[in-house]
Amino acid sequence: MSGRLPIRMLADRLLVSLDEDSGDRRSTGGIVIPATAALGKRLSWARVEAIGAHVRSVEVGDRVLFDPEDRSEVEVRGEDLVLLRERDLHAVASERIEEGQTGLYL
């Protein structure tokens, strides 16, 4: 079969790409902290690339906060992406969040 087939996410699944800044970090004092450094549980930000039909609180293009230990990685068209369930999200950052709303998905 030639060509690429479109991908449709099912149920409450999200396909996200990790933010570029999810690697090494810099402390407030300017010290570089490698991504492999053992810190306490640290959540990660990612950009939503695709959503399933039953996802209610997130749209494509939103940034979401999730626990990187609760993820499944997949390669799609040469790009490393992460597969999540909507219930595994801790927060949503979006341009469409109205004033007075926290934007949190709990």
Which residues contact residue 24 at a Cβ distance below 8 angstroms, ignoring those fewer than 6 apart?
A: 32, 33, 34, 35
Per-residue pLDDT averaged across 44-56, rounded?
93
The whole-model pTM stands at: 0.71
Domains detected in the chain: 13-22+40-96 (2.30.33.40)
Report the chain's mean pLDDT, rounded to a whole number. 80
Q: For residue 74, is pLDDT > 70?
A: yes
**What local confidence, expressed as pLDDT, does residue 3 receive?**
59
Per-residue pLDDT averaged across 12-38, rounded?
75
